[in-house]
Structure 1
Amino acid sequence: MSALAVALVGAAGVVLAALGAALLLPARLWLRASSRDGRVAIRARLMGGLLPWVTLHEGALPRLRAPAPGSAVWAGPTGQRRGRRLLRAAPELLRAVVTPARLERLSLDARIGLDDPAATGALFGALTPLVYGLGHAVAGGALRVEPVFSGPVFEGEVECILSVRPWRWVRPAGRILRILASPEPAPTAWRPA
């Protein structure tokens, strides 16, 4: 074997070993979002902490607006079957994505309020077991939700660190891609019997 062939085989082995380590060793994801300053940041640290934090996204929080009638979202049945298949598979896919993730740290500071003070109280009452249960279940958990009875308010900050093993996301990602890449069946015309 020539020296070039040995070098190529060695380089391929190093690349495969690095990919294997990236998939098998845990990755940590850090997310911070704040409605107060309107910023969001997402960072990742791969290979079990051997690599430094890498910024995946940092910028302004996206503004959510309802689509205008006549826009592409309202354009018609294009992609409806694919969307329905994705929605039918959503609970299973969500479980497959969330189950391998371990919540290492969670910090939440939020103020919530609705138009009706009674509805705000009901919402706060429904959230209380979740807030206090998660606050004690996560080692770095600091959760605070403050009800605002004077009017509609939804603001706050959240920061969390998730630890995941990327190889456990390969199968759900493949299923999502298979659903999205599958061709749309041709629409059939309805005919009376």
Structure 2
Amino acid sequence: MNAKKRYKILLLFYENNPNPKTELIFSSSFELLLSIILSAQSTDIMVNKTTKILFKIANTPEKILKLGLENLKYYIRRIGLYNIKSLNIIKTSFLLINKYHGIIPKNRNELEKLPGIGRKTANILLNVLFKKKTIAVDTHVFRVCNRMNFVKGKNVKIVEQKLLKVVPSRFKLNIHFWFVLHGRYICKARNLQCHICLIYDLCEFKQKVI
């Protein structure tokens, strides 16, 4: 795909949704951090149902540690991989208190030292909390990029590197959420909604469903 077409696609997304947001519900940096840890291999809907209850009980590192591992497991038991996620949340809460004075670090290296936080989730935190022009590539972004030929890559790291190179600076802050929402509701893994696609005429996917 050439640069002119990419720009048109991004401009359409911008005009349709100038301020895209994560669908995770949170009211503090720590709540977002926990929601992101919980969201791995789970849906935002399930995470929000879980955190709606959890955050009333514990929504700070101190309260999480006071809640304890077994009680935390109980509150998040409906989330996939809840055992390891509970342990990661406890460890992360401990580190935030004892190493970072309760403040979420603002750089990638430090974020990725927190249990349960990888490159993708670090990118989201940097983007949402600190307005860094990072581009997180999850399964939706990876699928959309490859399918419509926006950029091609065999893995998420390659796709991220290519996106950082070709996406104009003005769009970098928002492209992750545009493509996530597009992949979640329109350019789905199955049951494609090409007939209502905003970028139908610009997409280079050869097997569009009309």
The answer to whether TM tops 0.5 is no
More strand by share: 1
TM-score by length of 2: 0.20
TM-score by length of 1: 0.22
More helix by share: 2
Select the structure of larger CA radius of gyration.
1
Higher relative contact order (CA 8 A, sep 6+): 1
